[in-house]
Amino acid sequence: MANRYNLAAEIRDKKASSIRRKGFIPAVLYGHDLDSMSVQVEEKEFSRVFNQTGSTSLVMVTINSTEHPVLIREVQYHPLKNKALHIDFYQVRMDEEITAEVPLTFVGESAAVKDLGGVFVRNMDSIEVEALPQNLPHDIEVDISSLNTFEDIIHVRDLKLPEGVKTLQEIEEVVALVQEPKTQEQIDADLAEEVKEEVAAVEGVEDKKEETVEGAEPAATEEKKE
């Protein structure tokens, strides 16, 4: 079983703006066998827990001595400040498997990058998995030390998933690889192609303007009838 994370919450009976000024975050708790509840959590404590769990690890939210197994389904942030404004807690059933997007964490060192000067290409940032709530991992590590040449590829089937976790991705999907560095000739050719495309785009705009001017008809004027 994954690590246990606990978070205390209280029933909310005041306006959101009021509790935010006191260092709390308004939230809603809903899900299996539960009527929706308006609650609040202490801002600093939530940040500490969320930094460890993300949106995939199970959290035990305690309200009036009752524990609720939840996933942090959504966190709304201030558009300018990195500050949580509202949280959605989703209560899960411990005996029912759920699906989740689990982030990938890339670790290790690739010889194809270090010794051959290749460019590391990360084709996926997360994978979809299915597991019981208590088995959902915070992240899945991808060891890139197996990328020794430009022919080496890490597929989904190569990932080491925790016990009780299965992926819903196609096992042949590419997770990561290392591309051979471009030669100076290739770089010059790419730059020339970009310039050519930009010139063509500008010429296309100019041609369109000329067609519009040439095709324009003078506005008709009506003579006054006596």
| pLDDT above 80 (res 177) | yes
- Give the pairing of strands 119-122 and 174-179: antiparallel
Q: Name 178's bridge partners.
A: 120
HSE, CB side, 13 Å, CA atoms: give it for residue 207. 6
**pLDDT at residue 207 in the model:** 60
pLDDT in tens, 117-146: 999 999 999 999 999 999 998 899 999 999
Q: In this structure, what DSSP letter does residue 164 have?
A: T
Number of Cβ within a 10 Å radius of residue 40: 22
Q: Given strand 153-155, what is the order of strands in its sheet?
A: 119-122, 174-179, 153-155
Please check the confidence at residue 206 and state whether its pLDDT lies above 90.
Answer: no
Which position has the token pair 């066998």? 33
pLDDT score for 14: 77
pLDDT attached to residue 224: 45
Residue 79 has pLDDT above 60, yes or no: yes
Cite the beta strand spans of 64-135 per DSSP E: 66-77, 84-91, 98-107, 119-122, 126-131
Higher-confidence position of 208 and 99: 99
pLDDT value of residue 226: 42
* pLDDT tens digit sequence for 6-29: 999 999 987 877 888 899 999 999
For residue 33, the model assigns a pLDDT of 82
Average pLDDT for 148-170: 95
CB neighbour burial string for 46-67, b if at least 16 within 10 angstroms, e if fewer: beebbeebbbbbbbebebeeee
Tell whether pTM > 0.75: no
Q: For all residues of the chain together, what is the average pLDDT?
A: 86
Q: How confident is residue 200, by pLDDT bands cut at 50, 70 and 90?
A: low
Please say if the pLDDT value at position 74 is more than 60. Answer: yes
Q: What is the pLDDT of residue 211?
A: 60
